[in-house]
Structure 1
Amino acid sequence: MTVTVGLGCAQLGNLYRAMTDETAAAIVDAAWLTGVRYFDTAPHYGLGLSERRLGEALRDRPRDEYVLSTKVGRLLAENPAYAGERDTAGFDVPATLVRHRDYSRDGVLRSLESSMTRLGVDRIDIAFVHDAEDYVEEALAGAIPALVELRDQGVLRGIGLGMNFDKVLAEFVRRSDVDTVMVAGRYTLLEQPALDELLPLCEERGVRVMAAGVFNSGILATPTPGTTYNYEQAPAALVERAQRIAEVCGRFGVDLPTAAIAMPARHPAVEAVVLGASSVRQVESNAARAATEVPSALWEALAAEGLLR
């Protein structure tokens, strides 16, 4: 089974470390050459830098040939106290702007208008409400109805939610009319809590799922398991579990990252696996892994050993 891959563009916003504009453009170009036609970004990523770089890299591509998503929930404003500081949210950029959480109707409209300006486009295809786990009622009262209205007017092709919390995503799916969700890190080779409620609910309601964070922020990103999980030092028990998974994968001639990309795509509700990249080489290796056939016997072996649900 070939995996449909989207490019997650947090790295274009200098996630953890800076990259040049040339590298950012080369990453998007490489993704396009491998067949990627879905690109996801957000104002949060590098205080708008990801959106600006992605828009520039896609500027000469036919607009009808790709799907573009961004997110709402964080408005960017000038930082009046800026005195040379760097951003403290994980992006290596100057803190010339500040983020304000805003899940109101007005905030959504302002956010989308600003995003389109940074991207240099006249439309967004999919708008996700971003990281609203602590703002459920505000988003249900403001952001979601505003996005529904834009979708009904034909301004947006789809609306949804993106976060790391599968149970909160399930609550939104139950309580609102969304088309898609982006679940990060909760349906991976290492852990599958999204199977409890979210994925069955999405399958029942026809809500498309984008699986992101499939490497659990690093532990599954290399053939030998890493030590980063959920952006922190991984507990020893999880590293040991990842090592056991890698050993089983090795018996079938499959490396850990290849299995990590392939596993989420097996679920019928999952439409695409969204992968980030900090270099052209990563884009190309992700594409090669996504195109690799993984034997079904691998999943059976992992389940038999209690390593996969």
Structure 2
Amino acid sequence: MRNPPGEINELALVDTIKAASGHRSMGRVQVGIGDDCAVIRPPAGHEIVVTTDFCLEGRHFRRDWHTPESAGHRCLARGLSDLAAMGAKPVAAFLSLALPRGTDRSWVDGFFRGLRALADAVDVPLAGGDTAASPGEHILADIVLVGSVPAGKALLRSTATAGDLIYVTGHLGGSAADLKELANAPGEIRKSGEHPQLFPAPRLAVGQALLRRKLATSCIDVSDGLSSDLKHLCDASHLSAELMLTALPIHPLASGSLDLALNGGEDYELLFSAKPTTRIPASIGGVRITRIGTFTARKPRAAITTIDESGKRRKLAVGGWEHRFG
């Protein structure tokens, strides 16, 4: 049966994916798209790190809010941000994509334009994946990122100690503020300026610098929200934390909203700790670095205390994104 005009079939989809891979099969990726498996060669003295992220229509993007280029960019950026938090260099990407019947080819082409533009910018080849028909009406994408770090040197969540200072890159709350505007006027927002919700910038160079210069004692990316991800660091390192509210670098789009800065999510900045004796620069690679707090001893369980402009202390109720099932 012939596909309706504009609809993409499986062979055409595979051709589109091959084009998006850039046909790069030298160096790190020895064998890429076209065989049963990819063959990857990590650099000598390095370990492989792997992360995987779903990118689901209706949950992580909406076709009426996000352009296809934005959806493709965001799909890859989610995995790249995880690599950044480990201080890793990207080696290869793998994409599994399930499309509902009737998906327009122009949308798929735009999705891969957005994905490839970011892949080219950070020099990571698309080395494989899978395609399938979606069981429902939504697009389902799963991105797998493979990276490399010097053996035994990966940045972890579990290695902070009491007294370490807490830092964050860039700004907070901008992506959540953007999302609110998209809900109100998606067409207008998509036409204007740079927006962290549509095209987030994973902090790969910063993460690699933190590892290479031995600056960080722990690290995580801010994907669920500052409050949630700081709690993850506290839990992993068995610590509590004090957070200075007046120090938070709130994105201009968030209009000074503490709630968006603390709980908004999808900022894809890096939250990390460092020894008090370590000199942390004000910026790395043009990305602002801000000290926002201190890790303290756990008493008796991990907790986050906020300190406001008057010095008043309050226990922080953790917000941000939480995956729910059922």
Q: What is the TM-score normalised by the length of structure 2?
A: 0.27
Larger of the two Rg values belongs to structure:
2
Q: Kindly indicate whether structure 1 or structure 2 has the higher relative contact order, using CA contacts under 8 Å at least 6 residues apart.
A: 2
Q: TM-score, normalised by structure 1?
A: 0.28
